[in-house]
Amino acid sequence: MMFQGFSDQTIQFLWELKFNNERPWFNDHKEIYLTQLYHPMVALGHEAYDILMERNPKLSGNLKITRIYRDARRLYGGGPYKDHLWLSVERPHDRDADWHGIPALWFEVSAAGYDYGFGYWGRPMEMEQYRRRIQRDPKTMEKLVRRFQKQNLFTLEGEEYKRPKGETSKLLTPWYNRKFISLVRHCEPDDLFRSPELVQTLADGWQELVGFYQYFDDLRLEPPVTEDF
């Protein structure tokens, strides 16, 4: 199946799911889920991933596509289905046991639209590794940040510490004292969302951010941090 774009039914399904998150309703609408959401996500993911890997054959990353079914162990009073779906490129790992500290290129669709970008959600010790690498070798991160500043698609997001963790150059300060790093483009359902051209746009966006993916993937080669943070 080639990706042909999402549809108005994709968004309508996700809106209705927010208010009908129960098995009888979902079973009645399962075919819409498969044809208008899940199968297009699979096609989009594989096609964008193939382009990315053709451009970066040495990249350590596997394609992961979520299913809509929530883990029954983690419902906590919520419904049995996710109201958004995402796919990601991540290095191989046990997602349940070890998803912190794993850089990811990702795409997500929800009732509000679609987002894509890069994320690194490290634990305190992993973010300390990141800061120590900046202190040891600021030039590598500065090169990535300068390139990032020349584009206008993605924005830097991520909660900042109330008390700064240290000091660095003016260029890197907005990046240094964050609890996680997220580079995101937020989009409403537009013509591109409904077009096969979304594949190339997503692959090009990931390519713009692949340097950050490699930078954070390389943090596992840094000396481990044993102190508490």
Q: What is the pLDDT of residue 225?
A: 81
Q: What is the pLDDT of residue 74?
A: 56
Q: What is the pLDDT of residue 70?
A: 84
Q: Which domain holds residue 106?
A: 8-94+102-221
pLDDT, tens only, 98-147: 667 899 999 999 999 999 999 999 889 999 999 999 999 999 999 999 99
Structure tokens at 96: 């349940």
* Inside any domain, residue 76: yes
Q: What is the pLDDT of residue 57?
A: 95
* Inside any domain, residue 229: no
For the sheet containing 155-157, what is the strand order?
62-65, 84-90, 104-110, 113-120, 181-187, 155-157
Q: Which residues contact 92 (CB under 8 A, 6 or more apart)?
A: 60, 62
Neighbours of 104 (CB within 10 A): 21
Does 193 score more than 70 pLDDT? yes
* Inside any domain, residue 3: no
CATH number at residue 15: 3.30.930.20
Asked if residue 117 lies in contact with residue 180, where contact means CB atoms within 8 angstroms, the answer is no
State how many domains the chain has: 1
Q: 86 forms bridges with which residues in the sheet?
A: 108
Which segments of the chain are extended strands (E)?
62-65, 84-90, 104-110, 113-120, 155-157, 181-187
Asked if residue 182 lies in contact with residue 106, where contact means CB atoms within 8 angstroms, the answer is no
Q: What is the pLDDT of residue 174?
A: 93
Q: What is the pLDDT of residue 94?
A: 65
Does 187 score more than 60 pLDDT? yes
* Inside any domain, residue 227: no
| Mean pLDDT of all residues in 178-199 | 97
| Mean pLDDT of all residues in 20-41 | 97
* Inside any domain, residue 226: no
* Inside any domain, residue 228: no
More confident residue, 76 or 171: 171
